[in-house]
Amino acid sequence: MTTATITVGQRSSHGGLAGAIASEWTKVWSIRSSWLNIVAAALLTALLGVQFGFSTAYDNTHLRPGHVAEQTAVGSVGVSALIIVQVVVAAFALLQVTSEYSTGSIRSTLQWTPVRRNVVLGKAVVLGPVLFAYGLLLGAIAAVSGGLAMDEWADWDLVTLVVDLVSIAAYLTLGGLFTLGIAFVIRSTAGTLTAAFLMLLVLPMMLGQSSLRALVWLAALLPGGAGQNFLSGSSDLLSPTLSFIVLIAWAVGGLALGLRILQRRDA
């Protein structure tokens, strides 16, 4: 009589968090839409920087009586431009999820990484530094293009510029991670982009102009409103520090909700 022997191989580590991170890094740069997004955002940011720069120069050379022209920090041009371009950056983040659902490759992702927590964490760990670098790049493009357009009215103070660029990058990172989280909830590119557009730009701007104080407070507590307060340094409702904490809460909350939905739903 022969005895059948079953050999149990060593468990593969490819489905762990380290494998998920390596996989997601490859996916980010293998998706053509990622590169198209970066190129489009860079061009749009440069154009907005030039527009804001020329507008500032025009205002300083066409002053009303009693007004004095002042130089403008080039970093503030980056802030103004990125308030608009943030939606394009949010699209970069959500495509890392929705593109997989649209092609059905999410099934392969979940097979290779069966612990679904690692799927969300892997994407977040990769996307965090990528978004931060993306924000620095776009902020620098807006600052340089706007500063050149402002000419003599541009303030190139290095310390102020670095602070503005880091603030822009931090906000875009947290806004992108929030968008990444809700992408797991909505799953479609159009639906997630619409939700991000509303939460990051439209609702904060609309509610912030309201005459009702409660609605103004609501705007300040939305991710877009908190981001604008943080970037502008406004302390009208919340201090910049509290606004940044609100942003962190939205990012963590979005990722937590996305993970919960991913664990409860079938792919």
- In a domain, residue 148? The reply is yes
Cα end-to-end distance, the chain, whole Å: 47
Q: pLDDT for 156-191, tens place per residue?
A: 999 999 999 999 999 999 999 999 999 999 999 999
Q: pLDDT for 15-35, tens place per residue?
A: 588 888 998 999 999 888 899
With H, G, I as helix, E, B as strand and everything else as coil, classify residue 69: coil
- In a domain, residue 222? The reply is yes
Please tell me the predicted confidence (pLDDT) of residue 66: 67
With H, G, I as helix, E, B as strand and everything else as coil, classify residue 154: strand
For residue 38, what are the contacts with CB-CB under 8 A and spacing of at least 6? 92, 134
The pTM assigned to this predicted structure is 0.89
Residue 5's pLDDT band (cuts 50, 70, 90): very low
Q: Do the beta carbons of residue 126 and residue 29 sit within 8 Å?
A: no
Please tell me the predicted confidence (pLDDT) of residue 14: 53
Please tell me the predicted confidence (pLDDT) of residue 15: 55
Length of the chain as a residue count: 267
> Tokens 């920090």 correspond to what residue?
73
Separation CA 28–CA 134 (nearest Å): 13
Please tell me the predicted confidence (pLDDT) of residue 63: 74
- In a domain, residue 244? The reply is yes
- In a domain, residue 12? The reply is no
Report which secondary-structure segment, H or E, holds 138: helix 116-150
- DSSP assignment of 39-66: HHHHHHHHHHHHHHHHHHHHHHHSPPTT
- In a domain, residue 253? The reply is yes
Please tell me the predicted confidence (pLDDT) of residue 89: 96
> Tokens 């996989």 correspond to what residue?
23
* Mean pLDDT calculated for residue range 249-262: 96
- In a domain, residue 8? The reply is no
Q: pLDDT for 206-231, tens place per residue?
A: 998 888 999 999 999 999 999 999 99
- In a domain, residue 6? The reply is no
- In a domain, residue 10? The reply is no
Q: Is pLDDT above 90 for 70?
A: no
Q: pLDDT for 90-144, tens place per residue?
A: 999 999 999 999 999 999 888 888 899 999 999 999 999 999 999 999 999 999 9
Question: For the chain, how many structural domains are there in total?
Answer: 1
Task: Find, among 221, 215, 229, 228, the residue nearest to 250 by Cα.
Answer: 221
Lowest-confidence pick of 2-16, 24-38, 226-240: 2-16
Domain that holds residue 76: 17-264
CB count within 10 Å of CB 194 equals: 13
Separation CA 140–CA 134 (nearest Å): 10
Please tell me the predicted confidence (pLDDT) of residue 65: 76
Please tell me the predicted confidence (pLDDT) of residue 114: 87
**Token code pair at residue 158:** 């290095």
For residue 255, what are the contacts with CB-CB under 8 A and spacing of at least 6? 120, 124, 177, 178, 180, 181
CA distances from 185 to 58, 145, 173, 265 (A): 46, 38, 19, 10
